[in-house]
Structure 1
Amino acid sequence: MPDAEEKRLPRWPLRLTLSLVLVLEVFFVVMLSVEGVAEHIWMIVNSVGILVFCVLTWRGIPWSRWLLIALLVCRVAHIGMAAVLHFGPGDHRIPGLLVLVTFYVVAGLVVASPLGRSGRRLAT
């Protein structure tokens, strides 16, 4: 029986974050599939990996959150590399890109934080 000093961490921040990542990745996979699978196979594989590990993290598999974080880091690195190679100074796509990178970074921080272990008990 747990001590009175222990409390459950809230699940809603992790679940909200994972839900937003899931929606974004499903949209991303559909968009890339319409443009052509052969051209974007690695991005689609990364997106499917993010989808799978979001679901596993949601279900409470402890090791899945670290693999999800690794895939999010790969996604941010790919976005940064694409921006450096294809965007020029003053490009109108940079603000949207910064919002997307910020979203992925915040999602990774939420998953890495104690909130990522939402089913576990921590002492207060």
Structure 2
Amino acid sequence: MRVAIRFRHGGPERALAEAVVLRRALKESFGRIVIDGLDEVDIFLTLGGSITSAEGDGGVHNLRYSAVRRRLTVNVVVPASEIGRDSTAGALAPYLDVLARRIAERCAPRDCAAVSRAVAGACREALAAIPGPGPSGPHGG
């Protein structure tokens, strides 16, 4: 599967290195997943910061799947306050869990549980590659 990942940083305090590592890790881990009817995933990820906090906008938004184009696009927004309470990986983990479920529901309704597990596993693998503390709590490692 091909993966395109674009980032929007809400402030200078967001480490660019984390985004680069996460992008590479997500591309690699998603690349090993096979979902019938899906060849490409395009993720626009917003990490809130001091300039654009993204407060009140957190979540998985505008998930669109085209069966004809075999392509899925989605926006994932993580508010600055959530990143401030945890690591970037820890704040992002629950949103990627939601993303995994939504991809499975939309693209593989007959095999939803297995696809959700595969995508969630790929997301956890990618988050583990981010330097610093990894995801914690019920959604992480």
TM-score (norm 1): 0.36
Q: Higher helix share goes to which structure? A: 1
- TM-score w.r.t. the length of structure 2 is 0.33
Rg bigger for which structure? Answer: 1
